[in-house]
Amino acid sequence: MGAAEQLGFKAPTVRRVKTLHTAYRVTDLAASLDFYFALGYQKVGRITVGDGATLTVLKFPGEEVVTLELVHRPADGPVLIGTGLSHLVVRVDELAGTITALSQRGLQPEPEQHPAGPDGPRTSWLTDPDGYRIELVQWPAGHPDGITAMDFG
Query: What is the C-alpha separation between 103 and 66, in angstroms, rounded?
Result: 25
Task: Classify 85-153 by CATH class.
Answer: alpha beta
Ordered by start, the domain boundaries in the chain are 20-75, 85-153
What is the dotted CATH code of the domain comprising 20-75?
Answer: 3.10.180.10
Which amino acid belongs to residue 123?
T
Q: What pLDDT, on a 0 to 100 scale, did the predictor assign at position 20?
A: 82
| 76-123 pLDDT tens trace | 999 998 877 889 999 999 999 999 999 999 999 999 999 988 988 999
Q: What pLDDT, on a 0 to 100 scale, did the predictor assign at position 92?
A: 94
Between 4 and 80, where is the model more confident?
Answer: 80
| 61-89 pLDDT tens trace | 999 999 999 999 999 999 998 877 889 99
| 8-43 pLDDT tens trace | 666 555 566 677 899 999 999 999 999 999 999 999
pLDDT of 1 higher than 70: no
Q: What pLDDT, on a 0 to 100 scale, did the predictor assign at position 150?
A: 82
Q: What pLDDT, on a 0 to 100 scale, did the predictor assign at position 12?
A: 54
Residue 60 falls in which region: left (phi positive, over 0), alpha (psi -120 to 50) or beta: beta
Tell me the mean pLDDT in the region 46-72.
94
Residues 124-143 as b or e (16 or more Cβ within 10 Å = b): bebbbbbebebbbbbbeeeb
Prediction pTM value: 0.81
Q: What pLDDT, on a 0 to 100 scale, did the predictor assign at position 2?
A: 65
